Structure 1
């Protein structure tokens, strides 16, 4: 709640409250009861925001396993991108299937009329950026 922007302002959150149903779930940092309960908590929180007049635009930037590997290797080879890759990234990559399952369920259970997801095909960075910007502008225009 402390990070929610005041009226007339914009904020961008990177995964924010979805961690419990993805990272915490897969890595075992929360119990099954906790991460399953989080779906309802997420939906209720977003509904409160929407009822207050907040425009919620959610994007899932999807890349496939092959593209992720390509990007990881490029980060390792490129000195100014090395900060973007850690041993944890490689370790988490080994759990691709578990993360994919968690993401699919998260998208299904937290896609609501007041806070729908937009899936962005992100193997092509230019396409992903354009689709994201177009969706954002269209949503804001429609809501305002």
Structure 2
């Protein structure tokens, strides 16, 4: 249609978070499955490094949904010198003197590297929308700007993987109470997190609208059922491995591109 923004997008199959609350236990040996996944991811990262491909991975989702556990397993499989993790807080992304996406440009990966955003540009706009600080017009514009930003990364040859970890309200509360009861985990629970629990229903509505507008062909969302911790972790790493397998060349480069020639050895006299 003439005059329509080509990056204004509506997902043809809307994501319904209630479909990801089954918490089905992993069927099989989770330790063996995880070890195989980490080995696969390590090989895929080697291809990424050799072929100088870029990737961005977003870890979004509820507190208590298994994001950090999956992140540990993912990073543990990879060469840490080619991975950067950005922990994005709500206030960290805010900068009134620049465009709201500007702080994220400095975290984009170099050739051969991956940047993992542990919460991302989506966190700020969702929180602003839930709090009522983004009206319909500004909300739509923010979603369009995100789509354009992600399309620019894709056009630059960067893989963009977007994961959202979901749990039911009941499972989330059980996980948070477990944290509260453990003196070694209490630091993971903040007053802000507790206050946000009262906004869950409103947040779900905002998320459904967000998915509708930003679940694009070039950067689709992948929802992870985090109700079962092991199953959720394996599901998340499988999604990432499958995306890398499609994006990274399966063959090594030609020998002339990578083989370092040693100087001829001098014969002893």
Bin the TM-score by the shorter chain.
over 0.9
- Matching residue of 1:51: 155
- Matching residue of 2:145: 41
Alignment of 1:14-93 (within 5 A): 14-93=118-197
- Matching residue of 2:217: 113
Deviation at 1:67, TM superposition (A): 0.7
- Matching residue of 1:8: 112
Task: Tell me how far apart the structure 1 counterparts of residues 193 and 236 of structure 2 sit (CA, whole Å).
Answer: 24
Q: TM-score, normalised by structure 1?
A: 0.94
Does 104-113 or 22-31 show the bigger shift? 22-31
Number of residue equivalences: 144
In structure 1, runs of 5+ residues without a counterpart are: none
SS in 2 for 1:44: helix
Deviation at 1:109, TM superposition (A): 1.0
Runs (4+) of structure 1 moved beyond 6 Å? none
Deviation at 1:15, TM superposition (A): 2.5
SS in 1 for 2:210: helix
SS in 2 for 1:80: coil
Question: CA RMSD for the aligned pairs?
Answer: 1.2
Task: Tell me how far apart the structure 2 counterparts of residues 43 and 78 of structure 1 sit (CA, whole Å).
Answer: 40
Q: TM-score, normalised by structure 2?
A: 0.52
Report which structure shows greater RCO (CA 8 Å, sep ≥6): 2
